[in-house]
Chains A and B, each alone.
Chain A
């Protein structure tokens, strides 16, 4: 209801705006704000929501502009065809750039996008046969829609309507499971892969969407004045989009419109201060990032969250809470994990040296060993993060060798992380919901338009999430962010996310590290119930009390080799294990006098 009211207000505002400011100058300005917002919405998807970067977005903008300009002005295409062509061309350019780009991150991606922007800029200047260079393309037809006033005002209505539609679609996507999944990719690619999210695919998708939006904005730009030339597609243009996004707020829904409006207004105002007007972009970039990293729109939501936090401070420590006695929802029976002869060397040192482990289905098996024994390397080999030098890993008799981590996760081999990789921008409930990804079967378009199948999937995931929250005793904290809750609760959330994936084999890396006795006991209870539900569990731990109480079998590693295996009691008394941890008795063998 609130949403419909909001849309109605927006429609009215759009309708009224050209009449409140009835000069051609302002109408032109508003139109510019509208299609610039379209570009920045796309940039927001790329930088704010998927965590990538583009410092050359004017390139996609240019592709869109030139495509529609050339097709309509020089080849007589109808605008109903040239506009979609512009979007497709820009999206295709985004795809082509994304393929190499997604494998790089950080600095190299930034450089690649700048280079791309430069390439497009140079082409637009020099490829005079196509683009007209600095002379440009003339005679681009204006848009006329029957029923709307002719000229600039009518054009404003068209562009503003498109902007509004795009904003609504974005809002739908961001509010849906799709949007949460994209943010998860941004927050932690490792953790996203661990629950079966195909990170590479999602990053390419974000690039393509972002480029397509830039193309649409460019197309609107081209038809605004009937003329474009290469001056419009420089690095300054890319910088404008970037600064607008940052000022408005990276990753916030209304950041783009706020940022573009503020920046345009500032430019208008500072045109008066002739000498100093150029400084706005640089100063804004620097100032906002240092003092207001959330931007304007983002700052508002951050403030709201902080107020809410102050009103209801997070409970410290875990109460042995009323976790529901109902069974935790799990997969069909857990699978056996079989590891044979697994080995991995790093520069001449054997981190894992020919290890065999059989984890029987629906049991809890612990992996222990002194520092540097190879336990984490072992888990990384099983999940596919590292490629072994030799050896085989199989789950329920299906070989996993050669499969990427994502594939293994999709088969139900789910892991948690020692250093907790929660999605910091998502709430507790959303963290858990995203874990169910491998059971989500609805497409981007279905989510974008709110089609029935997407809505059913969301409802189902919500239901499952609620059950898990209840079982973990986290229902009261469902809306909190990870940084607002106590450490013990965060460990529960990470466990909950893994459980949401309905694992067949659950790999836990130090599940009770840093927890006190009560909290550790709580996890122990939970894991016992999870196992009762049939899941196979392999865990690494240093907390020996915990290991001894919960495991059915224990494997001990040292220097990458298996030195002992058996029930907890057997392992505890094994002299080989004692020596591995405590060292050889010094004086006795060497005969040197020990300290009195």
Chain B
């Protein structure tokens, strides 16, 4: 592989990996606070993409579109927590019922998308100005869209980390993750925290939908793919640390782009094989010790 190709692979890999990271962070934040996650989160991403597409086609500026996507997905986040998580967290339901109910919500969202926008692939209009599509940086040709996605996903990631680590709200989430009982003794409304965690997760996914558009086709069936890759990123990062997940996700993106280059026939397969191998060999992730006691594996 030539040097130029290497750089291009890295950039593409990091761009798509950045998206997986954001989906994974959504899983991470809800898993930490309530030991549940939204199996339909990929479909939320897809929905965000389509909402964005509709507004962009109407000529709404990008920033306003982003705000509208955030609003829409906030609503979806509240809905999924109320409808699919809260009712089945009480006694009388089997342990993984939330997996099925969130899956159900995802399917409903998927079908709604088909009803509204049809079931064929769609393309995004050029997001960030048509002139700079292929940049030359140090003699290497790179798509501007990918670069912008890298920048944006990094900024979002940093904002997310800031909220988690530097705001009182983020610390309250950490308290709830540690022990819901202890958190409520401090006066923290644990149920509301669960809901807010789901809102964060859904908004992150929706924004991903907006980012995904320029580098990939969008159709109603892309949801599960992203959900699975996002979960893989979270697993690689050990489900225990946002930064670990960041690295894991970028790695996954690079693996995916590389394997597609190596074999276009089975390229899609390798990321999933990586997932299965990780789960077998090192379920606690790349960065944590072997028996870090991850709840997800129990």
Contact = CB atoms under 8 A, between A and B. Distances in A.
Interface of A: 51, 53, 55, 100, 103-108, 110-112, 114-116, 118-119, 122-123, 126-127, 235, 239, 242, 246, 250, 275-276, 278-279, 281-286, 289-290, 293
A240 to B, nearest CB: 11
A115 B228 contact: yes
A246 B39 CA distance: 17
A289 B272 contact: no
Contacts of A119: 269, 272-273, 276
Interface in B198-236: 224-225, 228, 231-232, 235
B84 A114 contact: no
Interface in B84-140: 84, 87-88, 92-97, 99-101, 103-111, 114-115
22 contacts: A51-B94, A100-B279, A105-B298, A107-B297, A108-B279, A108-B283, A108-B297, A115-B272, A115-B276, A115-B279, A116-B276, A126-B265, A242-B100, A282-B104, A282-B110, A283-B108, A286-B104, A289-B93, A289-B100, A289-B101, A289-B104, A293-B97
B4 interface: no
Contacts of B110: 278, 282
A122 B266 contact: yes
B276 A112 contact: yes
Nearest to A105: B298
A115 B104 contact: no
Contact of B272 (A118, A275, A281, A285): A118
A279 B105 CA distance: 10
Given A115-B272, A119-B269, A289-B101, A107 B88 contact: no
Interface in B274-298: 275-276, 279-280, 283, 296-298
Measured as residues with beta carbon below 8 angstroms from the partner, the interface class of chain B is: 35 or more
A59 B134 CA distance: 41
Given A105-B297, A114-B224, A118-B228, A285 B266 contact: no
A166 B164 CA distance: 54
Contacts of B115: 275-276, 278
Nearest to A291: B87
A190 to B, nearest CB: 12
Contacts of A106: 95-96, 296-298
B155 to A, nearest CB: 29
B67 interface: no
A100 B228 contact: no
Interface in B1-42: 31, 37, 39
A279 B272 contact: no
A104 B276 contact: no
Given A110-B99, A127-B265, A293-B93, 12 more contacts: A106-B296, A106-B298, A107-B297, A110-B39, A122-B269, A250-B94, A275-B115, A279-B111, A282-B111, A285-B103, A285-B107, A289-B88
A107 B283 CA distance: 11
